[in-house]
Amino acid sequence: LQKSLNETFGADKYSEARKEVLTNMFSRPMQMALYFCTGVLEDETLFRHYALNVPFYTHFTSPIRRYADIIVHRLLSASLGASSPIKMEKEAIQRQADHCNDRKMASKRVQELSADLFFAIFVRVRA
């Protein structure tokens, strides 16, 4: 797919813009990752990472980026015995995960609407 897209982009001054638009359009249908507390979910198949084909998976980035990553770092640290357990009930952790998911989806929606707006402007100017 990537090879086919690269051939489609061309080499003119708008090739990078086409690349961004098409890449964005192809990635939209992909399922968005969700934060959740494993202690409240009974179905362990939800812990699986489909693309990596691993049964248990967690993801995080630098804890300076997102609050959810701070929670994941603290929970992993406690589970490895490197720090004391955090003083949050699993239901409270799930509420935080739900809030982070809501904010992430709202942010993604604004990003998509912004991309749609700029694409419309791009098409209008080119027409």
Asked if the structure places residue 41 within a domain, the reply is yes
Residues 14-67 pLDDT 10s = 888 877 777 777 766 566 778 888 888 888 877 887 778 888 888 777 777 788
Count of domains in the chain?
Answer: 1
Contact 68, 100 (CB under 8 A): yes
Contact 93, 39 (CB under 8 A): yes
Q: With residue 121 as reference, give the H or E element that holds it.
A: helix 90-126
pTM, to two decimals: 0.65
Euclidean distance between CA atoms 79 and 44, whole angstroms: 18
Euclidean distance between CA atoms 51 and 49, whole angstroms: 6
Asked if the structure places residue 50 within a domain, the reply is yes
Asked if the structure places residue 16 within a domain, the reply is no
- Position 125 scores a pLDDT of 87
Contact 40, 91 (CB under 8 A): yes
State which residues form the domain around 88: 30-124
**Mean pLDDT, to the nearest integer, of 92-121?**
92
Asked if the structure places residue 63 within a domain, the reply is yes
Looking at the DSSP assignment, which residues form a beta bridge with residue 5? Answer: none
Q: With residue 29 as reference, give the H or E element that holds it.
A: none
User: Assign residue 102 a region: left if phi > 0, alpha if psi is -120 to 50, beta otherwise?
Assistant: alpha
Contacts 24+ apart (CB under 8 A), 58-63: 59/33
